[in-house]
A and B are shown apart, each in its own frame.
Chain A
Amino acid sequence: MSRSRVAWVALPVALAMTLSACGGGGGSSTAGGKEDPDGTVSIYGTEPKSTLFPANTTEAGGGKITDALFTRLVGYKPEDGATFNLAAESIESSDAKVYKIKLKPGQKFHDGTDVKAKNFVDAWNYAAYAPNAQQAGSFMAPIEGYKDVHPADEAAKPAKDKMSGLKVVSDTEFEVTLSAPNSVFPIMIGYQPFAPLPDAFFADPKAFEAKPIGNGPMKFVSRTPNALIKLERFDDYKLEDKVHFKTLDVKIYSSQETAYQDLVAGKLDFMEALPPSAKVGEKYKADLGDQVLNANLLSQSAIALPYYIPAFKDNVKLRQAISMAINREQITKTVLAGSYVPSDGWVSPGIKGYRKGICGEYCTYNPEKAKQLFQESGFTGKLTIQSNQDGGRKEPLEAACNSIKQALGVECEFVGATNFGAFRQIVDGKQLTGMSRSDWSADYPSIENFLNPLYRTGGSSNDSNYSNPAVDALLEKADGTANPDEAIKLYQQAEDLIAKDMPSIPTWNEKGIGARSKNLLAAKLTFTRDAELAAFRVKAKS
């Protein structure tokens, strides 16, 4: 959800999706030396913005803590985000509507109690129940009975506190019934709100808040607000994403620059993103050499042209003209210092279902054709691009504006909001007066997550207010298709229709650039821009 937040302070990412579980997209690096299996790793962190409940954590600062503390049913593979079983032994369904889930035996929470099917069911019910006010509660929406515990009308009191779609079969088995077939559900359950909660949570949530008890590879030790969160290896953890060091210090920084200096000096072991100053002229390569970590991110930057603005409504030629007037190649190389690549579609590369060049010539810089289309579009007046101006958001969009200005001969201006909150208030309130930045990062690795929230009528992040019944129908059909490959084909057809309408203009995709310190032998950055803790190895102090 939000990769957009503010790069300095909180690195966007969102979420939690995360996986420490296994995921990584790739960037790993190793070095020679002896390994210390009981070493300490310190990673860059920001102060969590919510309580440390898995279903209440939707931003990076808290997400990296809950991710290490809680293990979900499935994890994600590094290469293409394919899922594999973690806490689950098997997940079976014949119709994509009823899922039978079996747990691996012998799993324990950090307080020594067993991880049972009921812990998952209780946790999911807790997340969905409206009065519990869990930020990510709406992820339970596909489950049957969600409307009873979470009525659409916020003032209404929920009729029940349990979803009818969840049924405990035995200690290690439960059954999930969805309100409609959903082929993506087995992927979604790798996302944080689907973590189990121990009985201790329901007995005393306040105590749990102060000292969370999870079932993940690391357990909670202590927390100094705004300074440090300490985790420690949970020795009873048997699953394949267990960690190979003892202590994890999440150091809270108010400035990425300072954290970077600490990293170079060896006082901090891992950063999932580097500050703009280090990227200038690729300085980080000189500073860090083979300690740099790379990963494909599941993110998509775009410029939305809202349909509620009369000049943009149904004016496809204008959309295409603007898109062709943006010199993506040059902007990603210069202004963005190579940390982004030009985008050619509405789905992030590296994900299953991505096809190269979907946007085709309309996402290729061509000032002559752009100018011609622009004249045919009949647009007069001034163009604007709105965004928050902190966190390095301003510069690339100003460059895009300049590119548009030069190619089309039209006035273009960047309009900045002071921060992300102020900007989202404008967007969510449908009060945009021109184009706007519309960046997305996936909650879970599925092509579905790049389309449904953004382009379906009434989607939760449909910034351009786009609505096309044909797209909606295709997406609905795809959601209800049990066969994953068939479903992907349908999603791709929906993307083709979106490409014709161009509700938003794809601009660039971010590359994950992080780094490790020389105290580590190995580290890995995931495609969700997280630390792949299972891949970390600490160098023994000689």
Chain B
Amino acid sequence: MGRYVLRRLLQLIPVFLGTTFLIYALVWAIPQDPFSGKCGQRPCDPSYIAEMSAKLNLNDPLLIQYFKYLGNLLTGDFGTTFNGVSVGEQISTSWPITFKLGIIAVIIEALIGIIAGVLTGLRKQGFLDNLVLVSTLFLISLPVFVTGFVLRLYLGPQGFDIMDTSVSTDPTIGELILPGFVLGSLSMAYVARLTRTSIVENRRSDYVRTAIAKGQPQTRVVGIHLLRNSLIPVITFLGTDLGSLMGGAIVTEGVFNINGIGGLIFRGIQEKEGVMVTGIVTLLVLVYLLASLLVDLLYAVLDPRIRYE
């Protein structure tokens, strides 16, 4: 087990190098002059362009640029954006907020999704099953921004007045619950359906029949034998979802004005600020890798047949 984890961690190094280079090259290849439009309705002054290009190493060939960037990164310097604010500082203010939001969204979607999935899986074709089926279909068909706007309208000051229209600069967990719900709503529907299918399949399996035949109480049959084995696909989904929720929360962040990672990436791409995009995406890649490692380890916990050596 320890060796397995170590091996997986060592694999992070080549993946880290590969992704940073790939992202850097991709941003570099965006066919737009970073200075066009930066100075408004007239072109930028040539001396401004020359100085900024030299400062940001924009004149070097791609590989040299990349290695200069990597060198700085290893000393903890993420670079600076055009407005002179260090990328490290921007990430360190946004990252905790996005992380909190992502975790809250995953918890909400897991909790509600799994409970709904189990209940419907056990009572197939019943009223509850149909209700969940219809409501998840509804959630899946709604784009996230619609969910966000609608909830804000009805729960905000113009509706029931139980939430604010946007979160504060440094949002608390309480403030993030609603945005987290909006963010996780789509995946919640998937989790519910995934759990349901898995439960329905496994209900007829041998080990469940054995457990019932042994005379174990229903809660134990469902909670320990059935659910644990049915959760494997769900956990896989949740693990990868954590990463995409963090990087892909651009819309939700916009609706609730959350100063998060998604907005930073979006702005970075628009302004063609390679250092910003690369820095954040690198972090997201690390989150993906660690989350999938965690998922793999959880497999062993859930299914005793799986062993790592």
* Distance (whole angstroms) from the CB of A437 to the closest CB of chain B: 10
Which of the 9-residue segments A262-270, A322-330, A508-516, A521-529 touches chain B?
A262-270
Which residues of A lie under 8 Å from residue B36 when comparing CB positions? Answer: 421-422, 424-425, 428
Contact flags B23-56 to A (C-beta < 8 A → 1, else 0): 0000000001110111111111111111110000
Q: Determine whether B130 belongs to the interface, using a CB cutoff of 8 Å to chain A.
A: no
Shortest C-beta distance, A432 to chain B (Å), equals 14
Query: Are the CB atoms of A4 and B41 closer together than 8 Å?
Result: yes
A154's contact among B50, B156, B256, by CB below 8 Å, is which? Answer: B50
Q: Judging by beta carbons under 8 Å apart, are A47 and B267 in contact?
A: yes
Whether B308 sits at the interface, judged by CB under 8 Å, is no
B residues less than 8 Å from A453 (CB atoms): 42
Considering residues B50, B82, B166, B264, which has the most beta carbons from chain A within 10 angstroms of its beta carbon? B166
Chain A residues with CB below 8 A from B39, complex form: 1, 58, 135
User: Is the CB of A503 closer than 8 A to any CB of chain B?
Assistant: no
Inter-chain contact A261/B47, CB cutoff 8 Å: no
Contact of A258 among B44, B169, B256, B271 (CB under 8 A): B256
Secondary structure dominating the interface of B:
loop
Whether the pair B82, A49 counts as a contact (CB closer than 8 A) is yes
Considering the chains assembled together, what is the distance between the CA atoms of A130 and B266 in angstroms? 32
Tell me, in angstroms, the Cα distance from A14 to B37 when the chains sit together: 12
Cβ of B180 under 8 Å from chain A = no
Interface contact B257-A154, CB-CB below 8 Å: no
Would A133 and B52 be within 8 Å (CB), given that A226-B263, A421-B37 are in contact?
A: yes
* Contact between A137 and B152, CB atoms less than 8 A apart: no
CA distance A410 to B82 in the complex (A): 44
Count of residues in A whose CB is under 8 Å from the partner chain? 60
| Cα of A58 to Cα of B41 in the assembled complex, Å | 10
Interface residues of B in 249-308 (CB under 8 A from A): 253-257, 259, 263-264, 266-267, 270-272
Docked pose: A48 CA to B271 CA in angstroms = 12
Which one of B3-11, B87-95, B117-125, B236-244 contacts A?
Answer: B87-95
Taken residue by residue from 425 to 469, chain A's Cβ proximity to chain B (1 for < 8 Å, 0 otherwise) reads as 100100000000001110000000000010000001100000000
Q: Give every chain B residue within 8 A of A262 (Cβ-Cβ).
A: 164-166, 257
A511 to B164, CA, bound (A): 31
CA distance A439 to B41 in the complex (A): 8
1/0 per residue, CB under 8 A from B, across A45-72: the answer is 0011111000000110010000000000
Complex-state Cα separation, A49 to B166, whole angstroms: 23
| Chain B proximity of A302: nearest CB distance (Å) | 11
- Smallest beta-carbon distance B147→chain A, Å: 15
**What string of 1s and 0s marks CB contacts (under 8 Å) between B89-115 and chain A?**
110011000000000000000000000
Size range of the chain B interface in the assembly: 35 or more
Contact indicator B169/A50 (Cβ below 8 Å): no
The reply to whether the CB of B223 lies closer than 8 angstroms to some CB of chain A is no
The reply to whether the CB of B83 lies closer than 8 angstroms to some CB of chain A is yes
Is B1 at the interface (CB under 8 A from chain A)? Answer: no
The smallest beta-carbon distance between A343 and chain B, in angstroms, is 17
Please judge, given known A-B contacts A154-B50, A225-B90, whether A419 and B259 are in contact too, CB under 8 Å.
no
Contact A425 B32 (CB under 8 A): yes
Question: Is the CB–CB distance between B166 and A267 below 8 Å?
Answer: yes
Most buried by A among B152, B165, B254: B165
B85 to chain A: which residues have CB within 8 Å? Answer: 225
| B143 contacts chain A at the CB level, 8 A cutoff | no
**Contact: A154 with B166, CB < 8 Å?**
no
B264 cross-chain contacts in A, Cβ below 8 A: 226
**CB pair A135 B158 closer than 8 Å:** no
The reply to whether the CB of B157 lies closer than 8 angstroms to some CB of chain A is: yes
Kindly identify which residue among B42, B93, B94, B272 contacts A461, using a CB–CB cutoff of 8 Å: B42
Set of chain B residues within 8 Å of A111, measured between Cβ atoms = none
User: Which residues of chain B are near A265, meaning CB under 8 Å?
Assistant: 156-158, 164-165
Can you list the 6 inter-chain pairs with the closest CB atoms, starting with the nearest?
A: A2-B40, A133-B51, A421-B37, A1-B40, A425-B36, A154-B46
Known interface pairs A2-B41, A49-B271, A428-B36; 14 further A-B residue pairs with C-beta atoms within 8 A, sorted by A's residue number: A47-B267, A48-B83, A50-B83, A51-B83, A226-B263, A227-B259, A254-B266, A261-B152, A262-B164, A264-B165, A422-B36, A423-B37, A440-B41, A461-B41
Residues of chain B having any CB pair with chain A under 8 Å: 32-34, 36-52, 82-85, 89-90, 93-94, 152, 156-158, 164-166, 169-170, 253-257, 259, 263-264, 266-267, 270-272
Return 12 A-B CB contacts under 8 Å, by A number.
A47-B267, A227-B169, A227-B259, A258-B257, A259-B166, A264-B157, A264-B165, A267-B165, A421-B33, A421-B271, A422-B37, A461-B42
